Amino acid sequence: MSARDPVPLRNHRAYISEYLRGIAFPDRSVAARIIEERRPGRYARDPVRPGLVLWACAACNGERADALPVAAAFDLFDRFLLLHEELAGESAATIERWGLGQSLNAGDALYALAFRSLAADVKNADRRLETARLVAQAVLEAISQDDEARRNATLTSAALEAGAVVAGAPQAISRAFAQAGRLLASAPAEAVAAVAPCASRGDLAAFEEVARYVARPAA
């Protein structure tokens, strides 16, 4: 699979994009303009990860409506992390254009919007609370890690586990999904094997497509 191949989980990504369009961003502010410029596309750390939340939920027979706010939160957290990494660089185009204060405001707004999304459209309060807890822990771990591969593995693990938890999967299954997320980039075949006992043939085929995409040679 080449870098020019389409990103997998396209249907899931379309649902997330539609949901994100309904999220109210800070209005009439510089921070809002910065956020608007950094919508998914080039400002997606991992274009697959939010879709994996929906994939895991569906694989565990959950309802998409329950998982959409969580998937949207992962998109927003990714953009928050990318913006703050840019601001830490020696030459940050966003700072040069908007100034450090407004750039930090935009990052803080993305962070707050992500947590607001985690608390939105709740169907099962206990599952969503557990999901928010594990996602917050993953974001804290990601912020503290200097290695990008480990940071991505932490967040992908949380995305897959979150989708399973929202669906009400038994703990053994949600943990298997979490393990698959940690292995996806470093050992794709092992990641597929981790979820194989828990997924239908169709769901497993979709996850195998993700594994091939993640393992593709860099352009």
pLDDT digits over 181-203, tens only? 999 999 999 999 999 999 999 99
What is the reported pLDDT for 217? 73
Q: What is the mean pLDDT of residues 142-171?
A: 95
DSSP secondary structure string, 192-203? HHHHGGGS-HHH
Decide which of 65 and 107 is more confident: 65
What is the reported pLDDT for 56? 98
> CA of 140: how far to CAs of 34, 46, 136, 155, 169, in Å?
23, 18, 6, 10, 24
The fourth-level CATH superfamily of domain 10-214 is Farnesyl Diphosphate Synthase (1.10.600.10)
pLDDT digits over 68-121, tens only? 999 999 999 998 888 888 777 655 677 777 788 888 888 898 999 999 999 999
Q: How far apart are CA 111 and CA 109, in angstroms?
A: 5
Backbone angles phi, psi at 186, to 5 degrees: -90, -30
Domain ranges within the chain, ordered by starting residue: 10-214
Residue 218 confidence (pLDDT) above 80: no
